[in-house]
Chains A and B, each alone.
Chain A
């Protein structure tokens, strides 16, 4: 069985984020990066399949600049077999659909039985790529997955629904699951694993190598900013009716509706 795991390298959760000079993204120069936390659970879920069945091949895929090598090395150190690094200036940081297109091209080349992704990214927060990717390669998908069980021809998953309910779905393979955090206990890359990873291949490709073009973002970020710190809060008081009418008045005053 082949499992493809899509992972993104994102700013480290402890990194102090400053906005870049033209105010369109964060300053990336001097900060640490790590594997998107959701994706580490996706990788762990794949590695557990490999633990149970040694014939499984786990291929990790990431789109990003040179620094992404580090994330892929960590993933290989944790136990993935090989990596595909799409190092393409246009594809990196592109919009969800273009990212999905690039990943779809990798998926077509790899034809995995299973694709695991994180439910969302810690930086972009969109959750859009996994279902788009599934659509583009025409495979069934499940999102927000907390548990997977791979059988011969299918993947049984438990999905997290609102209010703590769990939905059990069985998907025919090939299929895609986007994994929720907390789905498992993510392993650490052991020193032995890290040293073995030195010999594992990282295949570097551009979008053109994969046969996809037009991957530059169609969406542009106008502005990234921190909400102003000193905005004042009006605390409405009085009876419920007074508070409601006060709130209605505020809404009208601000013209937000």
Chain B
């Protein structure tokens, strides 16, 4: 099925490393991360030491120069951490906040920010969404005004993952309000810069990630912190969203594959009306249907990965994969919760948590409607 994509012994050996890491360092502590509302920052260092944080990045900055197939292997395994928030926190760092820097950043900027991020010495966050603009990215208001060789930044960003753990933000700001789509820039803002402040937000799910709102008041960072060209931020961010969306699909689906496995075990063990729940035809049909849906989502995700590995544009496939995978994952979570009965409604149940965790998929990283709007346009509407 996916064997051609993951054909080399290195894929398999790397999968084993990530699987062990996930099983030993993440799953046993999953509920601790929930209680803390964030993952232990030292995990990033551990992952950096194992080479997990710069798979596709230039070896000159500590990366491994590999392709998306390795990223897919890694996130398939991390998705089984039994903590959607923890998985999200890591994937924000590897696939949502650093790709633009790796692709467009200057050598100096990459030495200063990408190399430590790959090593796991620093943690990054992506700051696009604002209280008054999410789906409508071009509607953001956070302003960076040039003052000599500095940007002076004022504004606010909301629902930012890794808010507490982040050492720097990949911030999208308006640098020229009159230039339309050419008026945005991606700027690296260290979180300890004077004038940067954040509050944590209380979420209904994804408890293992630290989501917050940032405020910027007269924040000064060098213009040299701009990623790529001034004025290209919007376009660069649209490209960065592709990695974000694909990783969201991969991690959410592998979390649901784990939930499906656990639910199957549960239905074998749960006895009602004198027989295991798994012996009821309704259970079997539901589980089989969910399995089919997951296979389809998996293949769609892998076709997107394949296109990226082949060096082709995958925007349409990734967009399709996101809207489809999100739907499948929400359905799996909901049906598995149903099969768990009252226990499924408990916070400690994997199914119950999945129910709230997967709901993020249709909102974050571009809502379902945003995906469909794009697809409709591609389809000639």
Contact = CB atoms under 8 A, between A and B. Distances in A.
Interface of A: 34, 69-70, 73-74, 77, 188-192, 194-195, 197-198
B64 A191 contact: yes
B283 to A, nearest CB: 18
Interface in B1-44: 9-10, 12-14, 16-17, 20-21
B50 A195 contact: no
B1 to A, nearest CB: 12
B49 interface: yes
Contacts of B20: 188
Contact of B10 (A34, A188, A198): A198
B158 to A, nearest CB: 35
Nearest to A195: B10
B16 A192 contact: no
Interface residues of B, number: 16
A126 B328 CA distance: 46
A198 B17 CA distance: 16
Nearest to B50: A190
B51 interface: yes
12 contacts: A73-B9, A73-B13, A188-B17, A188-B21, A189-B13, A189-B14, A189-B16, A191-B50, A194-B17, A195-B10, A197-B10, A197-B13
B13 A192 contact: no
B55 interface: yes
Contacts of B16: 34, 74, 189
A73 B55 CA distance: 19
Contacts of B49: 190
Interface string B123-144: 0000000000000000000000
A70 B50 contact: no
Nearest to A188: B17
Interface of A is mostly: helix
B51 A70 contact: no
Contacts of B253: none
A69 B12 CA distance: 11
A71 to B, nearest CB: 9
A192 to B, nearest CB: 5
A188 B64 contact: no
Nearest to A197: B13
A233 to B, nearest CB: 18
Contacts of A192: 51, 64
B170 interface: no
Given A34-B16, A74-B16, A191 B9 contact: no
A74 B18 CA distance: 12
A74 B9 CA distance: 9
A190 B118 CA distance: 14
A197 B12 CA distance: 13
B72 interface: no
B52 interface: yes
B50 A188 contact: yes
B164 to A, nearest CB: 27
Nearest to A186: B20
Given A77-B17, A189-B17, A197-B10, 6 more contacts: A73-B13, A74-B16, A188-B21, A188-B50, A190-B17, A198-B10
Interface string B324-352: 00000000000000000000000000000
Contacts of B12: 70, 73
A167 B84 CA distance: 46
A70 B15 CA distance: 11
Contacts of A69: 9
Most buried by A among B10, B13, B50, B70: B13
Contacts of A195: 10, 64
Contacts of B13: 70, 73-74, 77, 189, 194, 197
Of B50, B52, B70, most A-chain CB atoms within 10 Å: B50
A191 B21 CA distance: 12
Nearest to A13: B23
